[in-house]
Structure 1
Amino acid sequence: MLGLTTIGVFHTAIGLAALASGVIALAQDGQISPRRRAGRIYLVATLVTALTGFGIFQHGGFGPPHVLSVLTLVALAVGTVAAMSSAFGRASPYVQVVSYSITFLFHLIPGVTETSTRLPPGAPLVASAEAPELQAVYALLFVLLAIGLTLQIRRLRASARR
């Protein structure tokens, strides 16, 4: 199926489940929170997606997608420390929001890349992961992340003042 291995199919399915639960968490709470069911599902599915990504070598050896998996694991760890302790002091809620939100971007980058280079079958949208069109999409995703983080941080600040 579209050149995916068994682990690739599982990785893709769990990644899509993570994205769906992330969207639900963001829509419900304006953030990804381990205190809510959708947030917990997102975090576990994101962890599994990052770990299974290490078993995929479609484009050769260890490469940029694997680096993204490492960054995802680091962001999950930092966000979880921030969510479950006061290690970052008063900044903990902000560290949590930034860390978990950036993992959402880390899902979208390979998702957009793989989808754009594989679909539609036989005539993909772009010829390679280095296509200029993808660079523009990545820039847009980063801008959307910045906007989303700004809104989340403003919301946190407003609730801290109450």
Structure 2
Amino acid sequence: MFGISSIGWVHTLGSLPAIPVAAYMFARHGRIVPRSVPGVVYFASMLIGASTVFLVAHQPVSYGIGAVTILLLLAGYGVGWAPAAGRMARYIETVCLSVSAFLLMVPTVSEILRRVPDGHPLVTDLKSPLLLGAQGALAAILVIGLTAQIVHLARRRQ
């Protein structure tokens, strides 16, 4: 179904929980909260998705997205344990984990548009206006969301 291999299903189903968990944390807390139960689910799910992308990717950019996602996860979850980060830790954590969610959604939206409905996908070309528009909307959401998160964190400090 949808032309997905067995390992592709592991990749897809393994990373799938990260989407609603991230949406929940963004709605509830305005950011991904790493030291929480949903934060642990997000980390595990993202790690599964980012590490299995190397087994299922067909485009070189996918390897870069997977590697950057793993680095962002490690930085976002690890910065809280680094005393040298000090007051900047919350900002670094927020930016890293928000960008990791963006890097989850870009290929997710692309794959959905290129596979659904089964046999007659909405997008057949990577330069499709629908796909480019969806990716542009995600980029705008990232910029606006990161700006709002940083402003909110700065106001909480005052």
Answer 1 or 2: which has greater helix percent: 2
Measure the CA separation in 2 of the matches of 1:116 and 1:29. 29
Partner of 1:149: 146
Match of 2:99 among 97, 102, 123: 102
Give the equivalent residue in structure 2 for 1:138: 135
1:1-162 → structure 2 map (5 Å cutoff): 1-57=1-57, 59=58, 63-161=60-158
1:74 to partner: Cα distance: 1.2
SS of the residue corresponding to residue 88 of structure 1 reads helix
Task: Give the Cα–Cα distance (whole angstroms) in 1 for the partners of residues 27 and 149 of structure 2.
Answer: 12
List per-residue Cα deviations over 1:88-123 (Å, max 9, x = no partner). Answer: 332111010000000111111111111111111121
Please give the root-mean-square deviation of Cα atoms over the aligned residues, in Å. 1.4
AA of the residue aligned to 1:140? A
* 9-18 or 123-132: bigger deviation: 123-132
Q: What are structure 2's unaligned runs of at least 5 residues?
A: none
Secondary structure at 2:56 match in 1:
coil
In 1, the alpha carbon distance for the partners of 2:144 and 2:116 equals 29
* Inter-partner Cα distance in structure 1 for 2:14 and 2:98: 18
CA deviation vs aligned residue, 1:33-85 (integer Å, no higher than 9, x gap):
1111111111111011100111114x3xx611111001101111221222222
CA contact (8 A) 1:34 1:83 kept: no
Deviation per CA, 1:114-152: give whole Å up to 9, x if none.
111111112111112332321221111011011111121
Name the TM-score, length of structure 2 as normaliser: 0.93
1:87 & 1:7 partners in 2: Cα distance? Answer: 40
The ranges of structure 1 where at least 4 consecutive aligned residues each deviate by more than 4 angstroms after the TM superposition are none
Q: Which amino acid aligns with 1:134?
A: L
